[in-house]
Amino acid sequence: MATKIDYYEILEVTRTASADDLKKAYRKQAMRFHPDRNPGDDAAEHKFKEINEAYDILKDDQKRAAYDQYGHDAFEGGGPGGMGGGFGGFGGGGLGDIFDQMFGDMMGGRRGGGRRSGADVQVQVEISLTEAFSGVSKPVEVRTRVKCESCHGSGSADPNAGSSTCPTCHGAGKVRAQQGFFLVERPCPTCNGSGKTISNPCKVCHGAGTQAKTETIDIDIPAGVEDGTRIRLSGKGEAGGEGVQPGDLYVHVSVQTHQIFQRDGANVYCRVPLRMTQAALGTEVEVPVIDGGRTKVRIPAGTQTGEQFRLRSKGFSVLRSSARGDMYIQVSVETPHHLTKRQRELLEEFEQEAGGDHAKASPESAGFFSKVRDFFEGR
C-alpha cells in the first residue's frame, strides 16, 4: 500500500495554519490542478483528488484534531471523505480503543482491563473556611442505586433459573453508535450491561439487579482542602448488578468565603483597618487567627496602607505535608471623616506645625509633588 503524503504538505501550509490560510491554499492548489485546466493529465487529476481529500479533513476542526494526533490512522478503513463505514477498521483496535479509553468511564461501563462497573456518582458538599482549615466529617445524602434486596443482585425472581446470552449485544454488555465524528460506546439497553437476559426477572428491580436508594454517607474532608477539590471514594457509586463492580463516588468540595480571612493557597490574609493616629503614632492590635485563637501584633509608628506583617506558621496545613502556611496582616489606614470642630482645629494646627517640613513628615507625598513640579518646569 502506497504511503500517503502529509495533508499539510499537499496544501503547502504549516501545521499551525488558520482556517483562512487553509481555504486560500486550497483554492490556489485546486485552481492550479483542476482537470479542466489540465485535460488528459492523469498526474494533475490525481493531485487534484489529493488536494480535495486533504482540505476535506483539515477544514473540519474535529477531523483536523484527530489527524494532528493520529495521522492517517485516524481514518483507516472508512475513507477520508464521509467516514462512511462507521470508522471502518476500529473494531479491531486503533482509534476505536483510544475512544473507549477516553469515554469509557463517562459511560459508566469500563474500568482498567475492560471490567464493567456501575455508574459513578457525583455530589457537592459545602464547608466553611474554618472547617477547611481543621478538616471535618460531613454527612451527605447520595441518590444512588444499590444491590436489589429482593433478588440480592441476581436480577432473577428464581435463583435457580438460568440466564441466556443477550440477543442485542451478543454477551458483550455494550453497544456502539455513531454520533457525528465519534463512535460512542454505551451499556446495552436490553441487558443493562450484563450481557445476559433473565427469563424470570425480579419483580422489584425488573431484572436490573439494582434498585434506587438515597443513602447518607459521612465524608471525611482532610485539613487543608482547597475550594474545588474533588475527593474520590472508590466503590461508593452505583451498584452494577450481578458480577459488576460498583462505581465510584466523587465529592466536589466548595469552600465558603469568610467575613474576616481570605485564603491564597496555604497562606491566610487578614485586612486590619487602622485609624490615622494609630498608624502615625504606632499601636498594638489584637487579631483573630484561623485556628480560633488570637494574637497581638505591634504596629510601628509611621505604618502606611498596604504594609504587611507576617505571622509564621499561622496559615493552613499543606495537604500530605507537615508544612504550614503563614498569616499576613494587611494594614489599611482609614482617613477620618465627620470631624468635630475641635478635631478639625487640631488637624489644622498639625498642618500648620508641619509648615515647610512636609518632606520629613510625609516623604512620599512631598516626593511626588516635587516630581510634578519638575515635570511642568521641564515642559
pLDDT of residue 340: 95
270 known ligand binder:
no
- At the topology level, CATH places domain 116-162+199-255 in HSP40/DNAj peptide-binding domain (2.60.260)
Phi, psi of 330 (to 5 degrees): -105, 120
261-334 has CATH 3.30.750.24 classification: no
pLDDT of residue 20: 87
- Angle subtended by helix axes 95-103 and 61-70, to nearest 10: 110
Cell reading at 165: 446470552
pLDDT of residue 172: 80
- Three-class secondary structure of residue 360 per DSSP: helix
| Assigned architecture for domain 7-85 | Orthogonal Bundle (1.10)
Report d(CA 154, CA 164) in Å as an integer.
13
User: Do 7-85 and 261-334 show the same overall fold?
Assistant: no
Cell reading at 252: 466536589
148 known ligand binder:
yes
pLDDT of residue 110: 43
CB 333 within 8 A of CB 274: yes
pLDDT of residue 134: 92
pLDDT in tens, the chain (379 residues): 456 788 998 999 988 888 889 988 998 888 888 887 888 888 888 898 889 888 988 988 878 887 887 777 766 543 333 333 333 333 333 333 333 334 444 434 444 444 567 788 899 999 999 999 999 999 998 888 888 878 877 777 776 666 778 888 887 877 887 665 567 777 777 776 667 777 778 888 877 778 888 889 999 999 999 998 999 998 888 887 666 788 899 999 999 999 999 999 899 999 999 999 999 999 999 999 999 999 999 999 999 999 999 999 999 988 777 888 999 999 999 999 899 999 999 999 988 887 666 666 677 777 777 787 888 887 6
H-helix or E-strand containing 310? strand 308-311
Report d(CA 163, CA 41) in Å as an integer.
65
pLDDT of residue 76: 56
Q: Cα–Cα distances in Å, from 315 out to 130, 207, 230, 296, 308?
A: 11, 54, 22, 16, 15
pLDDT of residue 112: 45
pLDDT of residue 80: 38
Question: What residue spans define the domains of the chain?
Answer: 7-85, 116-162+199-255, 261-334, 344-378
CA 314 to chain centre: 29
